[in-house]
Every structure is written in C-alpha cells, then in structure tokens.
C-alpha cells in the first residue's frame, strides 16, 4: 500500500471513530498548556499510531497527543500527526475539525491528508503531483488585492488600532482547525490565512504540502519557509495566501517582533 493510500484510509477510519465517541458523550480535561483535550483525541491518536507504525515501522512519529520521542530526529521519514485538529470545534459539536497526517521526508512533507469527517471533505497531496479535494484537483485563488478578499483569522486582530496602516474591508472568518484553514486557501474558498502566534509542526505539515501543491504560499510573518522534524517543533506564526496576496500581507506584518 502506498503512503497516500495508507494515510487516507487511516484518516477516514479514525474520523468515524471520533464521530462515534462524540455521539457517546466526550470526556474533556485541560492539558498542561491549558488547551482542551478529549478522550477522543487520545483514542484517535493511539489508533493512528498503531495503524501507521504497524504498516511503516521504520518511520518516526510526531503527534500532538504523544509524548515526544527524540529518536524521531534520527529518522529520514516520519509521520507528523494531529489526531483531531480543532478540538474546540469538535467538543462543541461544530464541524471545523480535521484529522491531519503528513509523511515528512528529510524535513519536508511529501505526502499528506487533511480529512474533515463532518464536512465529508478529504484533502490530499503528493509532492509534485498536485493537490486534490475528494479526488478533484484544487488551486489557490488568483486574487491580487486585500480589498474584499477572503481572510481567515481573528477579526479583532485586524481591527486593532495599532496597525501602521488600517486593513481594508475584507471577508474575515474563523475556523478552529489550522490545517483546515490552510486547505481552504488551497482550494480558493479563501484567499489567505494569517496567525501571529506560534503553531506546531503537527498543525501545519500536512496542509503545508496541500497548499503548496495547490499553488499557494506558506511562510512565517518574516517570510521564512518551514522545515519539519526539528528538535523544537514550533513555528512562530503563519501567512498562507494566494501567490499575489502573500507579499501584500507580508508587507504589513514583517516589521512585527514576536516572542521566541
């Protein structure tokens, strides 16, 4: 079985498991960083780890819900997984959550799936082979101006009075899953996504490949591209945008200094 077939099958299987657990009533608690987690996050993570590593025992493993094992740094290939990206949406019975799985090779994602079970949307990509939604090719938008563009982010941030130049009127919406936000840029439903806070490799790895293969651009707010399987798997921020939009956003945010 190819890596793509493997991770798509796994994502769909555990998506159904998550929906079953949700219907039975979730147990919810807080992690050490004060973010919520549910019994479904943990069970889906365990299932994915068993399914994927049984098929590819030579691969490393990095997941939001698994204690980090530094041995992953010695692996050329690894799975980078967020079992339920958008837990806040999932536990509040909103559909904006997804199972995110990437195969990372030599620091870059080469195979990816982001599966949103409640929306029946499965985004996939392989390096050099384009991006797809439910098997159909997708492409980023050709939007070339911020005015009236579709932006995923925090409306209060865009409205803050401290900006050197006020942002123009835009259609600003929020989605809990970071991976799903990037996929919505990849398929052109939105033109860009901006977050000026740290994100983890498991939030980004799969969607990074999907948006790239769809013709979008993803960097941090200083314009730096991402690499994966780092000792500290964090990115400081993100700009994901249609190619003509990306420099317009970068010009507005690159001066900002964020905490390391």
Note the pLDDT tens digit of each residue in 65-85.
Answer: 999 999 999 999 999 999 999
User: What pLDDT does 88 receive?
Assistant: 95
| Fold of the domain spanning 3-137 | Fructose-1,6-Bisphosphatase; Chain A, domain 1 (3.30.540)
pLDDT band at 171 (very low <50, low <70, confident <90, very high): very high
| Fold of the domain spanning 150-253 | D-Maltodextrin-Binding Protein; domain 2 (3.40.190)
User: What pLDDT does 33 receive?
Assistant: 81
Write down the pTM of the prediction: 0.97
Percent residues over pLDDT 90 in the chain: 96
Task: Of 33-37, 77-81, 131-135, 173-177, give the lowest mean pLDDT range.
Answer: 33-37
Three-state SS for the chain is CCHHHHHHHHHHHHHHHHHHHHHHCCCEEECCCCCEEEHHHHHHHHHHHHHHHHHCCCCEEEECCCCCCHHHHHCCEEEEEEEEECHHHHHCCCCCCEEEEEEEECCEEEEEEEEEHHHCEEEEEECCCCEEECCEECCCCCCCCCCCCEEECCHHHHHCCCCCCCCCCCEEECCCCHHHHHHHHHCCCCCEEEECCCEEHHHHHHHHHHHHHCCCEEECCCCCCCCCCCCCCEECCEEEECCCCHHHHHHHHCCCCCCC
User: What pLDDT does 40 receive?
Assistant: 96
Average pLDDT over residues 218-239: 97
Average pLDDT over residues 31-45: 91
- Mean pLDDT score of the chain, rounded to an integer? 96
Average pLDDT over residues 211-226: 98
Note the pLDDT tens digit of each residue in 102-139.
Answer: 999 999 999 999 999 999 999 999 999 999 999 999 99
* pLDDT reading at 260 higher than 90: no
How do the domains of the chain map onto residue ranges? 3-137, 150-253
* pLDDT reading at 250 higher than 80: yes
User: What pLDDT does 258 receive?
Assistant: 86
* pLDDT reading at 218 higher than 80: yes
User: What pLDDT does 34 receive?
Assistant: 80
* pLDDT reading at 148 higher than 90: yes
């Amino acid at each position: 079985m190819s890596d793509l077939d493997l991770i798509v099958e796994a994502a769909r299987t555990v998506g159904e498991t998550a929906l079953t657990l949700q219907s039975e009533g979730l147990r919810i608690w807080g992690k050490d960083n004060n973010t919520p987690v549910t019994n479904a996050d943990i069970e889906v993570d365990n299932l994915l780890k068993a399914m994927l590593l049984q098929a590819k025992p030579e691969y490393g493993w990095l997941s939001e819900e698994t204690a980090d094992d530094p041995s992953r740094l010695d692996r050329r290939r690894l799975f980078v997984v967020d079992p339920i990206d958008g837990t806040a949406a999932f536990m509040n019975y909103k559909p904006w959550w997804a199972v995110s799985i990437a195969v990372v090779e030599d620091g870059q994602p080469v195979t990816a799936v982001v599966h949103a079970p409640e929306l029946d949307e499965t985004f996939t990509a392989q390096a050099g082979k384009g991006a797809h939604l439910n098997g159909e090719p997708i492409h980023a938008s050709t939007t070339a101006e911020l005015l009236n563009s579709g932006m995923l982010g925090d409306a209060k941030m865009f409205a803050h009075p401290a900006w050197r130049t006020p942002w123009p009127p835009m259609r600003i919406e929020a989605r809990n899953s970071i991976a799903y936000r990037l996929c919505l840029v990849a398929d052109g439903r939105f033109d860009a996504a901006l977050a000026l806070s740290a994100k983890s490799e498991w939030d980004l790895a799969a969607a990074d490949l999907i948006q790239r293969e769809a013709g979008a651009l993803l960097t941090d707010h200083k314009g730096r591209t991402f690499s994966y399987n780092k000792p500290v798997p964090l990115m400081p921020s993100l700009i994901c945008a249609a190619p003509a939009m990306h420099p317009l956003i970068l010009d507005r945010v690159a001066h900002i200094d964020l905490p390391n």
